[in-house]
Amino acid sequence: MSKKVLVLGETREGALRNVSFEAIAAAKKISGDGEVVAVLLGEAVSEFGNELVAYGADRVITVEHPHLKSYTSDGYGQAFMAVVDQEQPEAIVFGHTAVGKDLSPKIASKLQTGLISDVTDIEGEGADAVFIRPIYSGKAFEKVKLKEDGVVFITVRPNNIAPLEREERSGDVSSLSVDITNLRTIIKNVVRKSAEGVDLSEAKVIIAGGRGVKSKEGFEPLQELADLLGGAVGASRGACDADYCDYSLQIGQTGKVVTPDLYIAAGISGAIQHMAGMSNSKVIVAINKDPEANIFKVADYGIVGDLFDVIPLLTEEFKKVM
Amino acid sequence: MNIYVLVKRTFDTEEKLVVSGGQIQEDGAEFIINPYDEYAIEEAITVRDAHGGEVTVVTIGDEEAEKQLRTALAMGADKAVLINTEDDVEEMDQFTAAYILAEYLKDKEADLILAGNVAIDGGSGQVGPRVADLLDINYVTTITSLEIEGETVKIVRDIEGDAEELETSLPLLVTAQQGLNEPRYPSLPGIMKAKKKPLEELELDDLDIEEDDVEAKTETIEVYLPPKKQAGRILEGEIPSQVSELVSLLRSEAKVI
């Protein structure tokens, strides 16, 4: 059983997002012996085609147009549907990113097909593939499949499906010309609030601060440790509400959901809503003055102590061994 | 303005989950309005107060969902509609929900439809955009600010932490992100008034929908709880030696650095 699978690649700040490679790997599982066709939409994106092939795409189709410079559901919708019309895929994979979340339901609706969002694992292959996704803010998981012979359509949560090894592969990168018209949304401006560098949803290491951080400056030692480990800084809602940091750092039920290899929670008590955002991290370390803090219940390792003592010491120790 | 709000009844976030027979057990659980839908209800009321019109809240569910509709009415919505699918629909997915809501809305000439950007139980965030596509109207998701100035609608939306400013026009569907507003608590007078506000109950027949039309496209084969985590270790000793031990464990045992 072989399926042709379309994968929507994404770029951010001049580079392909890691989730694009993860989506290709997911597509390979679904495709059986079939073909994985990566799709890139934007104003000037063809330069990224070869990298998608290196990570496993059999070929790449780009749609370039000035009206695709910024994402709009109308613009990307027209472009992607044109590719769908040409390729008649049997399956589609998007990353579960801002673009993926916004666009995938529109495409699924047009194709009158089911859509399985925020997939964290795939069991089986090809026609037997079953998709696993978190529900109830990660407190439970469900296994889902498509009922009949519709287009198999999923979005994959960043940082959960391992990409294929990068290899020198060859594959055609071609362009499709599409007229993009009648955009009902006009993008005026983007205010970058998130820190440059490591994307929180793709970070392998996250150092998160809670109310215990006590001030904006309190985040500085956390940032130093994150920089050393090539990670990102996150925060609990408590720290954001107290104005110690911007809400773009918030991890939790009403913030970002992250699945890093290492999550260090400093001065975070561990409210259920926060845990919903990070409980599926591979390894959790908790640092808190209060030995009864809830966070210690989910931590793999815990240090009862003052984060302002512990974090700088951690930075020093890591410097020594790395 | 004709304003509609799509509302979902969900478990309370503090609920412990019980799974048996591969399904979540609902008996005895506390239910609430999906927190993101509260932002939508609050915004709808604000828009109505500023521009005039009527706010109707709509939900799909069974009779129990009336409680959540009355709460929305107590907050200040004008009318409520329950699309009761208990007898007609066994398995519902996002395709089903969107189809039913779009069928209800298609002749309502809605100017503005609001929904939460995601439900805290299902977590897929599909229904809003699907409904907009079925109605062939524009949609903007994860909004944190909404201003209607004549023919122009000015919106700020959250894209993974960045703030995007855009303009569009009505008719429009928007989905609410945290930070859009602070939802009000229903006041006592509001609760009393809510008892007299119209709450209409409809079934699939009333919408000329056949059960086959809305059959779910996806199927959940199993629901399970994650394996219970092994108890973690709280390190001991002087802080500097705990730190050395931690780094060593992270490298050799956990192997994450």
Q: Do A144 and B216 touch (CB under 8 A)?
A: no
Whether A5-175 shares its CATH topology with A200-321 is answered yes
Chains A, B: CB contacts within 8 A come to 246
pLDDT value at residue A177: 98
DSSP string, chain B: -EEEEEE-EEE-TTPPP-EETTEE--TT--EEE-HHHHHHHHHHHHHHHHH--EEEEEEEE-GGGHHHHHHHHHHT-SEEEEEE-TTT-SS--HHHHHHHHHHHHTTS--SEEEEES--TTT----HHHHHHHHHT-EEEEEEEEEEEETTEEEEEEEETTEEEEEEE-SSEEEEE-TTS--PPPPPHHHHHHHTTS-EEEE-GGGGT--GGGG--SEEEEEEEPPPPPPP-EE--S-HHHHHHHHHHHHHHTS---
Touching check for B187 and chain A: CB below 8 Å? no
Give dist(CA B147, CA B155) in Å, integer.
6
What pLDDT score was predicted for residue B23?
85
Spatial distance between the Cα atoms of B91 and B99, rounded to a whole number of angstroms? 14
Chain mean pLDDT for chain B: 95
Provide the residue ranges of all domains of chain B, joining segments of one domain with +. 2-214, 232-257
Name the minimum distance, in Å, from the CA of B80 to any CA of chain A. Answer: 26
Strands laid side by side in the A130-135 sheet: A121-123, A130-135, A140-146, B218-224
The three-class DSSP label of residue A193 is coil
CB contact under 8 A, A136 and B24: yes
| Residues in A touching B166 (Cβ below 8 Å) | 185-188
Q: Which tens digit of pLDDT belongs to each residue from A63-119?
A: 999 999 999 999 999 999 999 999 999 999 999 999 999 999 999 999 999 999 999
- Which residues of B are less than 8 Å from A255 in CB distance? 178
Q: Which CATH architecture has domain B2-214?
A: 3-Layer(aba) Sandwich (3.40)
B contact residues 81-100, partner A, Cβ 8 Å cutoff: 93-95, 98
Residues on chain B touching A141 (C-beta within 8 angstroms): 223-226
Task: Give the C-alpha separation, A232 to A264, whole Å.
Answer: 11
Beta bridge pairs of residue A208: A234, A265
Q: Is the pLDDT of residue B90 over 70?
A: yes
- Note the pLDDT of residue A141: 94
Model confidence pLDDT, tens digit, residues B44-73? 999 999 999 999 999 999 999 999 999 999
Backbone dihedral region of A22: left (phi > 0), alpha (psi from -120 to 50 degrees) or beta? alpha
Neighbours of A259 (CB within 10 A): 23
Q: How far is A89 from chain B (nearest CA, A)?
A: 17
* φ/ψ bin of B22: left (φ > 0), alpha (ψ from -120 to 50), beta (otherwise): left
pLDDT of residue B143: 98
HEC assignment per residue over A61-110: EEEECHHHCCCCHHHHHHHHHHHHHHHCCCEEEEECCHHHHHHHHHHHHH
Q: Mutate which of B17, B91, B164 to disrupt the A interface (most A C-beta within 10 Å)?
A: B164
What is the mean predicted confidence (pLDDT) over A41-52?
97
pLDDT digits (tens, 9 = 90+) for A2-32: 899 999 999 998 899 999 999 999 999 999 8
pLDDT band at A1 (very low <50, low <70, confident <90, very high): low
pLDDT tens digits along A258-310: 999 999 999 999 998 899 899 889 999 999 999 999 999 999 999 999 999 99
Distance separating alpha carbons of residues A202 and A156, to the nearest angstrom: 12
- What pTM was computed for the model? 0.91
Q: Is the pLDDT of residue B11 over 70?
A: yes
Residue A254 has pLDDT above 80, yes or no: no
Looking at the predicted structure, is the pLDDT value of residue B82 above 70? yes
Q: Predicted ipTM?
A: 0.94
Which of A136-140, B100-104, B131-135 comes out lowest in average pLDDT? A136-140
Q: Residue A170 belongs to what H/E stretch?
A: none
**B25 in A contact zone (CB under 8 Å):** no
Q: Is the domain covering A5-175 a CATH 3.40.50.2300 domain?
A: no
Per the CB < 8 Å rule, is B234 touching A205?
no
Backbone φ and ψ for B88, nearest 5 degrees, come out as: -105, -30
Helix, strand, coil percentages, rounded to 5, for chain A = 35, 30, 35
CB B203 within 8 A of CB B83: yes
pLDDT digits (tens, 9 = 90+) for A120-171: 999 998 888 999 999 988 889 999 999 877 899 999 999 899 999 999 999 9
CA angle B67, B72, B75 (to 5 degrees): 130
Report the residue of chain B nearest A108, measured CA to CA.
B130
pLDDT band with cut points at 50, 70 and 90 for residue B29: confident
Residues in B closer than 8 angstroms to A280, CB to CB, are 226
- With 80 as the cut, is the pLDDT of residue B141 above it? yes
Nearest to A143 among B123, B168, B221 (CB): B221
Tell me the domain boundaries of chain A: 5-175, 200-321
Rounded Cα distance, A81 and A283, in Å: 41
On whether the CB atoms of residues A260 and A206 are closer than 8 A, the answer is yes
Sign of CA dihedral B18, B22, B24, B28: negative
Q: Does domain A200-321 have CATH number 3.40.50.1220?
A: yes
